[in-house]
């Protein structure tokens, strides 16, 4: 609305200027050309001022609005046709009706108004372009950690690491266009001796740099120098610092040895990087000033060009990120949130079995389709879950046809947050595929070996236990020996229990999810039974073991004996790791699509660094006086986690040292 008003006012103003010219008689001779008959103009009636004024203003207004609405290109056709018709009518009206339709001022008003509105539109677009490009460039500046000076020095250090460098100097043009040194480094082994002809060497170096900056090419000069006692060839190399075809200075290198031509590409690349740093520094200084009117201003345009170069430099550097991904051993792909693939690395092409020439036509779902497997049969569901929750999706997928196990991960990436309260915006999806076949094989080999050994251990332990029990029953054995025998019996039984737990954990790990026998199970009943069964153990430590009552809970599909064992392990731990006269409470609750079992104690608690590790096999929290506890194996919780994950549930733990722990697990409801 506001824009229409401005357009109307602008068009009227342009028309008014033309009207003023017409009223002052400046356009009279031009108008006479369009009047017939030429001779005897007096025969044609002079137009009424008010009608002519109206005509001129209307022509301006209509043209202005047409340009605003239809755009200059389309409006030009309409205006052209209208003017042609008006020109014709001017001839006819003057010839037959002796009327002057003021063609020239009307045509001029139309052109002036059209031009004014078009200039206004251009200015608007220009301002928007300037705003956006400045904004993009200043974002680059914010990203930049090190300032230009530090970047130059680190660039020189890098060169020092790869070249037999005696000295390196970076030159940059000053306000008069003269090259002046801005950063300098000396090679480690440089003896620092001041050469007699220092001035002439300096001049020669400077000339070399000027040549390089002018030509945009690396220029070399060789000189035979006399070192301690032998003749050797040293070289000076000038590298132009070019960005976007513009030289922003030059890098002069003095080498201890002859220049190796194979270093050329490296030097060009370092030169380009230094140039980008320079350019950014320049742009930063330029953009520091106040915002100036940019339209039709040379300074404004130069500033915009500078900002554009910053952005183009950034684009070049952004490409590095993608190239880095091709170096990882995992398959990597980046997908925009419209499902198009932004990048695929060669390993991903290989894992997805996509030919290089097909890659351009692959989108997110065609890519994920290539990884369909038993537990990943509907890629859209996985993607939807990732997009809705923001949590990564991770699955191990087995492909029997090629005997390969891949770990697939789909994660949503977010923008870096500028400040704590700024909200991170999702930007793209990162898909990673890792080949874990070999790791799986080794893992299986390890488990197989351990279970084989455990089986082998069982037989002798059974014999030891059996015979020790027999001996202990023998009345002829003296009391002291009987005591030893009882120790042998209880220890061998403990060993046997440990082996049993371990075997059940490894068996579970090897098992497929389908192998677990699932029947509808009421978790409340399981918890109730276990609370009753473990009361004697709790009483021994004078611990109050209670079950929090809960309303009706839906059943879950689970293997009763495995889940019972899990609940027993958690309650047993809660009693074991709590001091006397405390309370252990067990409860169940309904969540959105799962049932949760919670075991809460007021015991010793677990330090933060161990919270994630207690679920690992054989992990035991080192606690004063606790390490030597005979009854701990570090297997109980890993068994719980294995069973619960096999059932599609999850385990959780909250704990604070000295205050107690809250272990819980969920199972999907039926």
Provide CB contacts within 8 A for 109, sequence distance 6+.
14, 15, 18, 19, 56, 57, 59, 60, 63
Strands 583-590 and 544-547: parallel
Q: Report helix, strand or coil for 463.
A: helix
Provide CB contacts within 8 A for 316, sequence distance 6+.
272, 276
Residue from 577, 586, 597, 666 touching ligand ADP (CB under 6 A): that is 577
Q: Does 585 bind ligand ADP (CB under 6 A)?
A: no
Near ligand ADP by CB under 6 A, which window of 83-91, 268-276, 444-452, 612-620? 612-620
Tell me the helices (H) and strands (E) count for the chain, helix number first: 19, 17
Near ligand ADP by CB under 6 A, which window of 83-91, 137-145, 234-242, 616-624? 616-624
Q: Does 379 bind ligand ADP (CB under 6 A)?
A: no
Site string for ligand ADP, 521-540 (x = CB under 6 A): --------------------
Q: How far is the CB of 662 from ligand ADP (least distance, A)?
A: 9
- Could you tell me how many residues of this chain bind ligand ADP (CB under 6 A)? 21
Nearer to ligand ADP, 309 or 596 (CB): 596
Residue 439's Cβ-side half-sphere holds a number of Cα atoms within 13 Å equal to 8
Residue 258's Cβ-side half-sphere holds a number of Cα atoms within 13 Å equal to 7
Q: How far is the CB of 610 from ligand ADP (least distance, A)?
A: 7
Residue from 661, 665, 666, 667 touching ligand ADP (CB under 6 A): that is 661
Provide CB contacts within 8 A for 8, sequence distance 6+.
61, 64, 65
Q: Does 635 bind ligand ADP (CB under 6 A)?
A: yes
Q: Does 499 bind ligand ADP (CB under 6 A)?
A: no
Q: Does 567 bind ligand ADP (CB under 6 A)?
A: no
Q: Does 614 bind ligand ADP (CB under 6 A)?
A: yes
Q: Does 294 bind ligand ADP (CB under 6 A)?
A: no
Inter-axis angle of helices 49-70 and 72-92, nearest 10: 150
Q: How far is the CB of 622 from ligand ADP (least distance, A)?
A: 8
Q: Which two tokens stand for residue 571?
A: 């309650």
Provide CB contacts within 8 A for 322, sequence distance 6+.
334, 343
Nearer to ligand ADP, 384 or 497 (CB): 497
Q: Does 508 bind ligand ADP (CB under 6 A)?
A: no
Q: Does 382 bind ligand ADP (CB under 6 A)?
A: no
Near ligand ADP by CB under 6 A, which window of 4-12, 290-298, 407-415, 571-579? 571-579
Q: Does 574 bind ligand ADP (CB under 6 A)?
A: yes
Q: How far is the CB of 632 from ligand ADP (least distance, A)?
A: 3
User: From CA 321, how far away is CA 326, in angstroms rounded?
Assistant: 9
Going through 578-635 in order, the beta strands assigned E by DSSP cover: 583-590, 594-601
Nearer to ligand ADP, 40 or 625 (CB): 625
The residue with tokens 């059932």 is 647
In sequence order, the β-bridge partners of residue 222 are: 235
Q: Does 606 bind ligand ADP (CB under 6 A)?
A: yes
Nearer to ligand ADP, 7 or 573 (CB): 573
Q: How far is the CB of 452 from ligand ADP (least distance, A)?
A: 23
Near ligand ADP by CB under 6 A, which window of 117-125, 158-166, 482-490, 615-623? 615-623
Nearer to ligand ADP, 249 or 605 (CB): 605
Q: Does 152 bind ligand ADP (CB under 6 A)?
A: no
Q: Does 509 bind ligand ADP (CB under 6 A)?
A: no
Q: Does 634 bind ligand ADP (CB under 6 A)?
A: yes
Residue from 246, 440, 482, 620 touching ligand ADP (CB under 6 A): that is 620
Cα-to-chain-centroid distance, residue 397: 25
Nearer to ligand ADP, 205 or 636 (CB): 636
142 CB burial (10 A radius; 0-12, 13-18, 19+) = exposed
Q: Report helix, strand or coil for 109.
A: helix
Q: Does 301 bind ligand ADP (CB under 6 A)?
A: no
User: From CA 583, how far away is CA 579, in angstroms rounded?
Assistant: 9
Say if CB 607 and CB 495 are below 8 A apart: no
Nearer to ligand ADP, 185 or 588 (CB): 588
Provide CB contacts within 8 A for 523, sequence distance 6+.
553, 555, 556, 563, 588, 595, 597, 667
Q: How far is the CB of 633 from ligand ADP (least distance, A)?
A: 4
Q: How far is the CB of 534 from ligand ADP (least distance, A)?
A: 13
205: left (phi over 0), alpha (psi -120 to 50) or beta: alpha
Nearer to ligand ADP, 35 or 586 (CB): 586
Q: Report helix, strand or coil for 276.
A: helix
Q: Does 138 bind ligand ADP (CB under 6 A)?
A: no
Provide CB contacts within 8 A for 80, sequence distance 6+.
none
Q: How far is the CB of 574 from ligand ADP (least distance, A)?
A: 4
Q: Does 621 bind ligand ADP (CB under 6 A)?
A: yes
Residue from 137, 601, 641, 664 touching ligand ADP (CB under 6 A): that is 601
Q: Does 598 bind ligand ADP (CB under 6 A)?
A: no
Q: How far is the CB of 512 from ligand ADP (least distance, A)?
A: 24
Near ligand ADP by CB under 6 A, which window of 63-71, 179-187, 533-541, 635-643? 635-643
**Of residues 23-62, those binding ligand ADP (CB under 6 A):** none
Residue whose Cβ sits closest to ligand ADP: 636
Q: How far is the CB of 327 from ligand ADP (least distance, A)?
A: 40
Provide CB contacts within 8 A for 620, sequence distance 6+.
626, 627, 632, 634
The secondary structure of 480-541, three-state, reads HHHHHHHHHHHHHHHHHHHHHHHHHHHHHHHCCHHHCCCEEECHHHHHHHHHHHCHHHHHHC
User: From CA 54, how far away is CA 63, in angstroms rounded?
Assistant: 14
User: From CA 219, how far away is CA 306, in angstroms rounded?
Assistant: 27
What residues line the site for ligand ADP (CB under 6 A)?
A: 569, 573-574, 577, 601, 603-606, 614, 619-621, 632-638, 661
């Amino acid at each position: 609305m506001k824009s229409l008003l401005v357009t109307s006012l602008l068009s009227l103003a342009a028309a008014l200027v033309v009207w003023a010219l017409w009223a002052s008689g400046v356009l009279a001779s031009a108008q006479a050309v369009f009047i017939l008959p030429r001779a005897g103009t007096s025969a044609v009636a002079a137009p009424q001022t008010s009608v002519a004024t109206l005509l001129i203003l209307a022509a301006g207004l209509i043209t202005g609005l047409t340009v605003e609405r239809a755009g200059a290109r389309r409006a030009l056709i309409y205006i052209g046709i209208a003017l042609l018709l008006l020109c014709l009518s001017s001839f006819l009206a003057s010839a037959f009706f002796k009327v002057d339709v003021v063609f020239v001022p009307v045509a001029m008003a139309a052109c002036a108004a059209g031009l004014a509105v078009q200039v206004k539109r251009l200015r608007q677009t220009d301002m928007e372009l300037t705003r956006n490009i400045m904004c993009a460039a200043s974002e680059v500046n914010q990203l930049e950690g090190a300032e230009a000076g530090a970047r130059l020095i680190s660039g020189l250090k890098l060169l020092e690491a790869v070249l037999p460098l005696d000295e390196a100097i970076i030159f940059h043009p000053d306000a008069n266009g003269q090259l002046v040194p801005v950063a300098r480094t000396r090679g480690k082994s440089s003896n620092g001796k001041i050469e007699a002809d220092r001035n002439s060497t300096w001049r020669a170096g400077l000339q070399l740099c000027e040549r390089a900056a002018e030509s945009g090419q690396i220029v070399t000069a060789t000189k035979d120098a006399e070192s301690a006692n032998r003749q050797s060839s040293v070289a000076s190399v000038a590298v132009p610092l070019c960005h976007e075809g513009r030289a922003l200075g030059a890098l002069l290198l003095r080498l201890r040895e002859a220049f190796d031509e194979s270093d050329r590409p490296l030097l060009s690349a370092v030169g380009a990087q230094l140039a980008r740093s320079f350019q950014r520094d320049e742009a930063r200084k330029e953009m520091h000033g106040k915002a100036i009117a940019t339209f039709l201003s040379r300074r404004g345009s130069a500033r915009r060009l500078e900002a554009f170069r910053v952005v183009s430099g950034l684009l070049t550097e952004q490409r590095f990120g993608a190239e880095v991904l091709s170096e990882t051993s995992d398959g990597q792909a980046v997908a925009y949130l419209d499902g198009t693939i932004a990048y695929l690395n060669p390993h991903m092409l290989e894992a997805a079995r996509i030919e290089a020439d097909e890659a351009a036509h692959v989108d997110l779902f065609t890519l994920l389709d290539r990884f369909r497997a038993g537990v990943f049969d509907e890629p859209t569901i996985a993607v939807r879950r990732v997009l809705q929750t923001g949590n990564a999706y991770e699955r191990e997928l087995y492909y029997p046809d090629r005997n390969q196990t891949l770990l697939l991960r789909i994660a949503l990436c977010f923008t870096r947050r500028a400040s704590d309260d700024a909200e991170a915006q999702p930007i793209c999806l990162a898909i990673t595929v890792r080949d874990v076949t070999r790791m799986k094989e080794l893992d299986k080999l390890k488990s197989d070996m351990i279970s084989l050994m455990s089986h082998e251990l069982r037989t002798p332990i059974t014999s030891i236990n059996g015979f020790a029990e027999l001996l202990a029953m023998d009345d002829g054995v003296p009391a002291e020996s009987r005591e030893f025998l009882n120790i042998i019996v209880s220890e061998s039984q403990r060993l046997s229990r440990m082996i049993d737990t371990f075997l059940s954990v490894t068996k579970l790990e090897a098992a497929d999810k389908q192998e677990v026998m699932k029947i509808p199970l009421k978790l409340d009943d399981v918890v109730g039974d276990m609370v009753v069964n473990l009361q004697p153990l709790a009483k021994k430590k004078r611990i109050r073991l209670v079950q929090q009552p809960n309303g009706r809970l839906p059943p879950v599909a689970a293997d009763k004996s495995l889940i019972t064992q899990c609940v027993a392990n958690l309650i047993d731990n809660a009693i074991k790791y709590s001091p006397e006269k405390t309370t252990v409470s067990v409860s169940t609750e309904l969540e959105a699509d799962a049932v949760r079992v919670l075991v809460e104690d007021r015991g010793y608690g677990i330090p933060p660094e161990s919270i994630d590790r207690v679920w690992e096999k054989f992990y035991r929290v080192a606690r004063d006086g606790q390490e030597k506890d005979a009854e701990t194996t570090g297997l109980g919780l890993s068994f719980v986690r294995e069973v619960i994950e096999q059932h599609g549930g999850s385990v959780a733990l909250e704990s604070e040292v000295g205050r107690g722990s809250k272990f819980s697990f969920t199972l999907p409801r039926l």
